Every structure is written in structure tokens, then in C-alpha cells.
């Protein structure tokens, strides 16, 4: 029995959408006749006319009960929503349950974790979400799913779930936000509602439509890339993000014991690490990436994946950020080419508080042997997993665990090749 809170909405073919939504596991809708018609149904509460059409007798254009184009669109969306990224939410399980995923180290089945039940604190209309009965539905994003144009999806609604992107707005400037753009200006309806196919992750081929070239192209809605030496040298091989993303982010060293005990996230400092970006191959070009470090009962793990930071800068970065030369900051590449290692993070016990963790910093290329070449300072939380989540109060209880990773995973994308690293180092 679905215990979601029922809602009053208007009549029309959207009633069919509600039934489909209920069949897909969404919240049931109570369809109450209303005299405030919007073209979906001309009947009023006092109108006793009934529609006697059967499946073999379709509505005609003159039938007052004929579905509107909006109703038909809603019904088509509801049919595919259960297979969408928002309906399925496969990404975490794809990462966790892979053959080399973190689940192999914890021994805890994904079905026993709260990760798959992740949700915002409220539905789009402000109604609190009850965790034990929650399932993804149109109500997550739409105040009234039958009148989507009357209640546009705002960034506030999106960021109720997409917390990292919310943190980015506090951490970085971005040319698109500065221009007044919102999430829905880049992310397509198909991407959010689905197309009938099940994608294992947002990063899977075909799952996402969003790309700089959708707008920044000849004849597009934004200026096409200017003609300059940087574009001439790099546009065939590098994605725009490689130069124009100022920084990515990472919540450092998730303490998985807390996730298991409280279904909450505890990580070092409770503030994402920034001031760096990784580079790896993705969709045929060099793309920005980030990492996730975790620990559980003394076991350590790191995952690397493409990541598009919402920290776009118009001017890009300097040559010396990637290519070693006089005054270069490409320290990670220099370290790898001379020692075969890259120190992503390290632990300085002589410091206090958050300063004990050093890095990550600058441009960090992901080399072919990244599983052994990248060095991280993995941490442990020495207090009880049931402690309240409080960055300042928890800080003294964090300590160094070890540098070795017991597991490593790159579910999407590929490391840079030796040839690519040599070109970065020598050109």
C-alpha cells in the first residue's frame, strides 16, 4: 500500500497520468472536478454529462472531454518517468555494487543502505517527505504536475536534492549564473523526464544532453568559441571544461560507518575540498574529473569519474597550469614524470584543524597507472559513528589512517595515455 500523501488536482486526461504514476509506484492523485476549467475538461461540478466513448470510439475534436495537448504530454512523460535518471537513481548503486566497487570492501548489500532512498526534505510544494514511504514521483519537482507552466521548476527545487551543486554556488563564481541562467536552461526535459531507456548513470552514453556545444556554436543561442591560438591547438582534443572549469570539488573521506549508522554523511571538515581539477578521457576528449575517497572499518577506497564543475570562467586557465615551464603550477604532472607518483593529498600532523590535510591542488592528470600512482591521505573518524554531524565539533576527532587504497574504481571514462602525458609535459 502506497502511503504517500494524496493531493487534490484538476480533471482531464491527466487522470490517466495519475493512474500510470500510481502503477509506477508514485503518489496517488485524488481527481476533484473543478469549475475553473483550463481547456482540459469543459464539464463543471454541476454538469451531469458523461463521456460514453469506448476504446473503439475515439474522442472527436468537438468533444468537450477530448484531452488537451498538455494532458497528452503529461501522460507521455509519466509513462517514461519510472525509467528516467530521476525515477531510477541508479548512479550510486552503479558505483557501489560494481565488481570493483566499494561494496566489495564493506560487504553490505546496497539494498540495506539508505543511499537508494535519498530525497529532498520536502516535495516541491513544501510538504515534508516521510522517508519510510518515499518513492520518486512528479511531486519531487512539480508543485502541481497537471499545471507545470503555472509553477516552473526553480533552482531551489533542484538544489534540494543536488547538494553538491548547491555548495558550488557558495564556493565559486560562474559566468552562466552571473548571466541569470538557471538549471533548466542547460538540462533538457528528456534528460530529466527520461526517454524510456534505463541508464546506469548520468555519465553513461546517451543519458545526458547537456554540453557547451549545444549553445556555443555557429548559429547557437550563445557566442561560438573565438578564434585564438588556444582553441586552435586544443579544441579537437580537449573538452571546453578542461580549460574553462575553474575548480571541481570533493567531499573528502566519507566516513561510511556514519552512513550505515545514521544514514547521514560525515566527511572531513563538512566542507568540500576545492582549488583543483583532475583530467581524464571521456567521450573522446580530455574532460574535467574529480574523486571520492572513503573509509570503512580501516579499509580505504577511491573512485575517479568525469565531473563538470559549475565554476565556468570566460578566460580559461594559463598554459602553465597544465604545461611545465617557468613559473608553472603543473606540479602534479612534474611529480609524476620525475617520480611516477602524484601526491593528491597528504597529512601534516604538525598543523591543527583542517590545515592538517594538504591538497588537492592544481591540475591533476589521471595517469594510466593511476590506481598505484595517485597517493591519498586516507583518514579515520575516531569518535562513535552515532556522534551528531558537526564539522567544528568533529574536527579534533579526525586522524590519519594510511596512504594505501584497498580498492579503486573508475566506472566511467579512461585515464590519460602515456602519449597524452608526454605531450602535456614536453609542449
Q: Are residues 163 and 111 in the same domain?
A: yes
- Residue pair 411/303 in contact by the 8 Å Cβ criterion: yes
- Residue pair 327/320 in contact by the 8 Å Cβ criterion: yes
Q: Are residues 90 and 156 in the same domain?
A: yes
Q: Are residues 90 and 181 in the same domain?
A: yes
Count how many Cα atoms sit within 13 Å of the Cα of residue 332 in the half-sphere of its side chain: 25
Q: What is the DSSP letter of 216?
A: B
Tell me the mean pLDDT in the region 412-419: 97
Cell of 325: 615551464
Residue 230 lies in a domain: yes
Rounded CA-CA distance 405/274 in Å is: 21
Last residue of a domain, one of 149, 183, 210: 210
Per the structure, the count of domains in the chain is: 2
- pLDDT at position 31: 28
Q: Are residues 189 and 243 in the same domain?
A: no
Q: Are residues 189 and 232 in the same domain?
A: no
Dihedrals φ, ψ of 177, to 5°? -65, -40
Cell of 254: 566519507
**Is pLDDT larger for residue 8 or for residue 219?**
219
- pLDDT at position 279: 98
Rounded CA-CA distance 139/271 in Å is: 30
SS3 content of the chain, % helix, strand, coil (to 5): 30, 15, 50
Residue 178 lies in a domain: yes
Residue 107 lies in a domain: yes
- Residue pair 119/263 in contact by the 8 Å Cβ criterion: no
- pLDDT at position 14: 36
Q: Are residues 286 and 311 in the same domain?
A: yes
- Answer whether residue 379 shows pLDDT above 70: yes
pLDDT digits (tens, 9 = 90+) for 321-378: 999 988 899 999 999 999 999 999 999 999 999 999 999 999 999 999 999 999 999 9
Burial of 252 (0-12, 13-18, 19+ CB in 10 A): buried
Last residue of a domain, one of 210, 245, 268: 210
Q: Are residues 84 and 119 in the same domain?
A: yes
The answer to whether the pTM exceeds 0.75 is yes
Dihedrals φ, ψ of 361, to 5°? -140, 140
Domain coverage including residue 413: 226-427
Work out the pLDDT band at 9, boundaries 50, 70, 90. very low
Rounded CA-CA distance 38/60 in Å is: 18
Q: Are residues 91 and 153 in the same domain?
A: yes
Q: What is the DSSP letter of 222?
A: B
Mean model confidence pLDDT for the chain: 86
Cell numbers 482531464: residue? 12
Residue 50 lies in a domain: no
- pLDDT at position 67: 64
Work out the pLDDT band at 39, boundaries 50, 70, 90. very low
Q: Are residues 176 and 249 in the same domain?
A: no
- pLDDT at position 133: 87
Rounded CA-CA distance 226/245 in Å is: 17
pLDDT digits (tens, 9 = 90+) for 143-160: 999 998 899 999 999 999
Concatenated DSSP letters of 153-186: PPHHHHHTT-HHHHHHHHH---HHHHTT--GGGT
**Is pLDDT larger for residue 60 or for residue 165?**
165
- pLDDT at position 326: 81
Tell me the mean pLDDT in the region 20-34: 33
Cell numbers 561510511: residue? 256
Q: Which helix (H) or strand (E) holds 15?
A: helix 14-23
- Helix 331-339 vs helix 418-426: crossing angle, to nearest 10: 120
Q: Is 122 helix (H, G, I), strand (E, B) or coil?
A: strand
- pLDDT at position 42: 36
Residue 60 lies in a domain: no
Percent of the chain whose pLDDT exceeds 70 = 84
Residue 44 lies in a domain: no
**Is pLDDT larger for residue 244 or for residue 45?**
244
Rounded CA-CA distance 212/252 in Å is: 28
**Cα torsion 267, 271, 276, 277: sign:** positive
Tell me the mean pLDDT in the region 100-120: 92
Cell numbers 464539464: residue? 43
Residue 47 lies in a domain: no
- pLDDT at position 58: 45
Q: Are residues 141 and 236 in the same domain?
A: no
Residue 56 lies in a domain: no
In 3D space, the residue among 140, 36, 132, 42 whose CA is nearest the CA of residue 84 turns out to be 140
- pLDDT at position 54: 42
Q: Are residues 195 and 282 in the same domain?
A: no
Tell me the mean pLDDT in the region 229-251: 94
Rounded CA-CA distance 265/251 in Å is: 9
- pLDDT at position 66: 59
Last residue of a domain, one of 210, 242, 265: 210
- pLDDT at position 18: 37
Q: Are residues 153 and 236 in the same domain?
A: no
Alpha-carbon distances of 77 from 40, 182, 190, 210, 347, rounded to whole Å:
17, 22, 9, 19, 50
Tell me the mean pLDDT in the region 35-52: 37
Amino acid at each position: 500500500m502506497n502511503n504517500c500523501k494524496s493531493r487534490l488536482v484538476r480533471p482531464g486526461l491527466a487522470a490517466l497520468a495519475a493512474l500510470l504514476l500510481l502503477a509506477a509506484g508514485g503518489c496517488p492523485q485524488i481527481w476533484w472536478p473543478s469549475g475553473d476549467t483550463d481547456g482540459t475538461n469543459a464539464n463543471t461540478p454541476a454538469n451531469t454529462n458523461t463521456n460514453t466513448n469506448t476504446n473503439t470510439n475515439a474522442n472527436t475534436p468537438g468533444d468537450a472531454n477530448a484531452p488537451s495537448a498538455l494532458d497528452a504530454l503529461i501522460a507521455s512523460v509519466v509513462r517514461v518517468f519510472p525509467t528516467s535518471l530521476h525515477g531510477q537513481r541508479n548512479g550510486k548503486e552503479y558505483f557501489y555494487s560494481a565488481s570493483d566497487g566499494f561494496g566489495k570492501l564493506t560487504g553490505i548489500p546496497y539494498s540495506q543502505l539508505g543511499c537508494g532512498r535519498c530525497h529532498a526534505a520536502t516535495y516541491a510544494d513544501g510538504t515534508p517527505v516521510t522517508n519510510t514511504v518515499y518513492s520518486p514521483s512528479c511531486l519531487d519537482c512539480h508543485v502541481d504536475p497537471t499545471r507545470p507552466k503555472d509553477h516552473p521548476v526553480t533552482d531551489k527545487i533542484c538544489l534540494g536534492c543536488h547538494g553538491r551543486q548547491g555548495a558550488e554556488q557558495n564556493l565559486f563564481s560562474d559566468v552562466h549564473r552571473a548571466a541569470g541562467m538557471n538549471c533548466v536552461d542547460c538540462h533538457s526535459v528528456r534528460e530529466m523526464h527520461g526517454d524510456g531507456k534505463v541508464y546506469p548513470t548520468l555519465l553513461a552514453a546517451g543519458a545526458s544532453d547537456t554540453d557547451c556545444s549545444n549553445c556555443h556554436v555557429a548559429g547557437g543561442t550563445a557566442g561560438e568559441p573565438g578564434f585564438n591560438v588556444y582553441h586552435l591547438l586544443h579544441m579537437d582534443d580537449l573538452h571546453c571544461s578542461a580549460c574553462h572549469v575553474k575548480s571541481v570539488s570533493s567531499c573528502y573521506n566519507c566516513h561510511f560507518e556514519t552512513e550505515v549508522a545514521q544514514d547521514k554523511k560525515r566527511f572531513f571538515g563538512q566542507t568540500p575540498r576545492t582549488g583543483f581539477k583532475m583530467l581524464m578521457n571521456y567521450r573522446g576528449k580530455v574532460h574535467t574529473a574529480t574523486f571520492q575517497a572513503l573509509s570503512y572499518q580501516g579499509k580505504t577506497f577511491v573512485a575517479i569519474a568525469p565531473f563538470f564543475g559549475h565554476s565556468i570562467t570566460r578566460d580559461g586557465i594559463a598554459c602553465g597550469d597544465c604545461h611545465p615551464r617557468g613559473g608553472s603550477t603543473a606540479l602534479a604532472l612534474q611529480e609524476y614524470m620525475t617520480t611516477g607518483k602524484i601526491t593528491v593529498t597528504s597529512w601534516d600532523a604538525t598543523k591543527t584543524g583542517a590545515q592538517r590535510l594538504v591538497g588537492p591542488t592544481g591540475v591533476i592528470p589521471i595517469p594510466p597507472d593511476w590506481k598505484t600512482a595517485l597517493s591519498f591521505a586516507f583518514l579515520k573518524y575516531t569518535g562513535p559513528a552515532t556522534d551528531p554531524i558537526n564539522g567544528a565539533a568533529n574536527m579534533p576527532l579526525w586522524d590519519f589512517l594510511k596512504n594505501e587504497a584497498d580498492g579503486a574504481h573508475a566506472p566511467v571514462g579512461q585515464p590519460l595515455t602515456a602519449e597524452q602525458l608526454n605531450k602535456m609535459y614536453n609542449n
